[in-house]
Chain A
């Protein structure tokens, strides 16, 4: 298993071999060294973002389109800031004001965006696999900003970056992901990233919110939150995704909080220096109490947001290297995909 305690660039192959993917559709196809490469690339942008002048011209003249078919606040803003800080022209396509409302199909929209010669397209969509479908129809890199219940790769990466900076090491790290695992693309991307990097990942949810065969993703499932928390180094809470639920999955938010809410008292079951994370938006008083969410030094929820901008800058910068003619960044292999 790969260790993350070294950030020496020499560990990575040269040029496009370091990240041989045309886009970022998910973390499922990424090797551990490719994930670490992106994390290491993000470090420079963390530093830049802490300077008074937070802008470079790496992507000057490039156009990035953010096409969000689902509501988003933080992810859309994060991608927009990331693109602008790299010097790109960033355009946000709001579905509410687009031809999608007039019945334009996803493929038509993809071909339209392609014809506009975007240099990168960031997509969020309510259907699993939708981003891959678009990626097959466009010539530029596509970044998945969340597709249904499938993946949210930049969230997985930014969470890994947050953990790396807090803990320094992934191997053997005990990470608990608790909440609505069934509907969570964040959980899937985190599971893929953290298990690839050697962490011991536990997932905790009531039976109705636990996906089938989840243990096949090299995680340990728990229904008992207190047991899952034992000696945990990282506690990652997820919200209930009521918008994706049909039928009753929990008796009530109150009962859910009783069994799966993270309180100060419950946090004591984790390691003494355990960090608390949440991808947002939070339902304070349901999956996480306010006094935990705001716990100084332990809650890294705002740090996650900060890492999000840096991580997305890294992804945009790496994926546009070929287009920008950087030496060594030849045409990467195609990520295999087919609508048929």
Chain B
């Protein structure tokens, strides 16, 4: 039985450009049918009063490692691109198809096909079969494809299939078993480390190959000034290369590693302060076009270990929105840009009909109080595990209500 249409009134509508505008949004079925200041509820509509808060698109999280619905919904995420680093990896159409169905109806999972079989970096996987099973892009996973020939063939093949390649940018010859950035902090702690140039080298090679292949290339996490400069220059030349980042790399530097805090063990690792500032600059000037959570809940068995033995990753879904709101409050970006980074751009990369408040798009909508303060607490998180480096930190910005395809979540 079809649900009545939904009208959310009395809100501030997030637009693609400029400041949010007062108005309402009406959805019928799973689509947005009307939006603007003059929109009013029709008879029989379900009516929600936004009470002057933001009406925004549901977030599209490009690259999570676990389908952790409570955390994703808490964070206002209605669509999540699932990284292929699963057990088993998403390198077959059957696993991709299963993953694509795993979140419905209130969370849409967009699997990212493993670029190579077993994510081992050598044999290209059955990407066309996985695309037809629901994969929305191709990812190299947590690893760099070291063989340039393999990477070129992959990029050419994905260009033919119309899929973006999402790459991890760390030259494995330099990183080896590194768990930190080569710096004073890593030296003092005696942690295996690699120079920041490992990222720039990987980026330089992959940009060159993407240009040769005419492929669309997205670096999921770019965290260093050198790599960002290369991407900025390539974008100016018209190369179809984009970059993303997670909040950890614009909020924290490697000084957070003091005391061997494994909740700060990431891949790529936290960088030096200058690199953190470079990431913020790149978000401001548009070089970085996507902010994702990298959500990877890890329990004590993965984290309560010596630093180098701990698994990388953080439970980031719940803090994605408020930490991005920091950038708005600091004047780095405006509200429209924040939601382009969190929803519109990732939706565009995945080629899904969502990520913005526009007629005809999917009714994935969040009501957000951008100023609401709350304290991040590892112990109280909705996530499957509380591995956040922001435990105890005060943040602002919280989702008050969420709809996926017009259906209220929770």
Alpha-carbon distance A127/B262, docked complex (angstroms): 13
B300 contacts across to A, CB distance below 8 A:
107
Alpha-carbon distance A338/B186, docked complex (angstroms): 17
Are A339 and B262 within 8 A (Cβ)?
Answer: yes
Question: Does any Cβ of A come within 8 Å of B307's Cβ?
Answer: yes
- A128-B260, A212-B183, A340-B303 as given contacts; A148 in contact with B308, CB under 8 Å: yes
Residue of A127, A214, A217 near B306 (CB, 8 A) is A127
Residue of A129, A133, A148, A216 near B187 (CB, 8 A) is A216
- A149-B191, A151-B190, A340-B261 as given contacts; A133 in contact with B304, CB under 8 Å: yes
- Mask for A294-330, Cβ within 8 A of B = 1, else 0? 0000000000000000000000000000000000000
Are B387 and A340 within 8 A (Cβ)?
Answer: yes
Alpha-carbon distance A133/B262, docked complex (angstroms): 10
Alpha-carbon distance A107/B299, docked complex (angstroms): 14
Least CB separation from A188: chain B residue: B190
Interface size class for chain B? 20 to 34
Residue of A28, A129, A151 near B307 (CB, 8 A) is A129
Alpha-carbon distance A295/B309, docked complex (angstroms): 42
Are B259 and A132 within 8 A (Cβ)?
Answer: yes
Residue of B183, B188, B306, B308 near A28 (CB, 8 A) is B188
Least CB separation from B262: chain A residue: A339
* Total number of residue pairs linking A and B with CB closer than 8 Å: 94
B259-275 contacts to A, CB under 8 A, are 259-263
- Mask for A138-162, Cβ within 8 A of B = 1, else 0? 0000000001111100000000000
Are B191 and A128 within 8 A (Cβ)?
Answer: yes
Interface residue tally for chain A (C-beta within 8 Å) = 31
> Could you tell me the distance in whole angstroms from the C-beta of A206 to the nearest C-beta in chain B?
16
Are B190 and A212 within 8 A (Cβ)?
Answer: no
> Could you tell me the distance in whole angstroms from the C-beta of A179 to the nearest C-beta in chain B?
15
Residue of B183, B309, B378 near A127 (CB, 8 A) is B309
- Mask for A108-136, Cβ within 8 A of B = 1, else 0? 00000000000000000101111011000
B45 contacts across to A, CB distance below 8 A:
none
Interface centre among A130, A211, A246 (most CB of B within 10 A): A211
- A107-B304, A129-B307, A338-B261 as given contacts; A212 in contact with B187, CB under 8 Å: yes
Alpha-carbon distance A105/B301, docked complex (angstroms): 8
Question: Does any Cβ of A come within 8 Å of B305's Cβ?
Answer: yes
Residue of A211, A213, A247, A340 near B378 (CB, 8 A) is A340
Residues of A within 8 A of B (CB): 28, 105-107, 125, 127-130, 132-133, 147-151, 185, 188, 211-214, 216-217, 246-247, 336-340
- List 20 additional contacts besides A148-B308, A339-B262; criterion CB under 8 Å: A105-B301, A125-B306, A128-B189, A128-B260, A128-B306, A133-B260, A133-B306, A148-B306, A211-B187, A212-B183, A212-B187, A213-B182, A213-B183, A217-B184, A337-B259, A338-B261, A339-B260, A339-B304, A340-B261, A340-B263
